Chain A
């Protein structure tokens, strides 16, 4: 069965610091990969997705992620975080039939 692990449950950063959130999945076949964000009190929003092609994917709000097939990883990055990036971030994997498997999430707190 597919599984997704996110290494950091809580991350605290100061504004302008760089961010990298880890995501590893277990599935040997072709996968689609996603990062979703959930701002306080809001619904899940798609940050970025990878289906195929360039393994470096750029998303909204300055986020990017890199798919490294050999490492089964899809880490999320942002060079300089803002206070408004405070949210919960979920990595998700889809290996067919449109069924998403989510990681446990990472709560990011950015202090001004």
Chain B
């Protein structure tokens, strides 16, 4: 089956620094990747949709300058949390999909803790 990986699985950073999270589709080409945020005991909230080679589309309320998304290839998307604050601490999950097939494959998530 389709596999999506994320790196790192856990990261702790200091307030004010930036951290990059990678999302890779390992055995298929992902024309579209999605970034979600999951708060404890809550559902997944879509942050942005990224298509390879174009700018990401952000959901309402998500700061574009804070959460930088790059989808440079058909197998890699990155999310950079800039000038991190403790309130950015969360579980970030990516998913990927091939074109046409409306099924998303999810990565294992990245636990970000900002101190």
Q: Restricting to A78-112, which residues have a CB under 8 Å from any CB of B? A: 90, 94, 97-105
With the chains together, A42 CA to B91 CA distance in Å?
A: 12
Contact of A99 among B42, B43, B46, B103 (CB under 8 A): B46
Contact of B104 among A51, A100, A103, A104 (CB under 8 A): A100
Q: Is the CB of A90 within 8 A of B102?
A: no
Task: Contacts A49-B103, A51-B102, A99-B49 given; indicate if A104 touches B93 (C-beta within 8 A).
Answer: no
Please name all residues of chain B whose beta carbon is closer than 8 Å to the beta carbon of A98 when the two chains form the complex: 32, 34, 49, 97, 102, 104
With the chains together, A105 CA to B44 CA distance in Å?
A: 9
Q: Is the CB of B93 within 8 A of A94?
A: no
With the chains together, A102 CA to B34 CA distance in Å?
A: 13
Contact of B103 among A46, A102, A103 (CB under 8 A): A46
Q: Is the CB of B106 within 8 A of A90?
A: no
Residues of B within 8 A of A (CB-CB), count: 19
Say what secondary structure dominates the interface of chain B: strand
With the chains together, A46 CA to B3 CA distance in Å?
A: 12
- Can you list, as one digit per residue, whether each of B75-115 has a CB less than 8 Å from chain A (1) or not (0)? 00000000000000000010101000011111111000000
Q: On chain A, which size bracket covers the interface?
A: 20 to 34
Q: Is the CB of A104 within 8 A of B42?
A: yes
With the chains together, A51 CA to B45 CA distance in Å?
A: 22
Q: Is the CB of A104 within 8 A of B43?
A: yes
Within the complex, what minimum Cβ distance (angstroms) separates A82 from chain B? Answer: 22
Please name all residues of chain B whose beta carbon is closer than 8 Å to the beta carbon of A99 when the two chains form the complex: 34, 46, 49
Please name all residues of chain A whose beta carbon is closer than 8 Å to the beta carbon of B107 when the two chains form the complex: 43
Contact of A90 among B43, B95, B97, B105 (CB under 8 A): B43
Q: Is the CB of A44 within 8 A of B93?
A: yes
Pairs A–B under 8 Å by Cβ, sample size 24: A32-B102, A36-B106, A43-B93, A43-B108, A43-B109, A44-B44, A44-B93, A46-B105, A49-B103, A51-B102, A90-B43, A90-B44, A94-B102, A98-B32, A98-B102, A99-B34, A99-B46, A100-B34, A100-B46, A100-B95, A102-B43, A102-B45, A103-B43, A105-B42
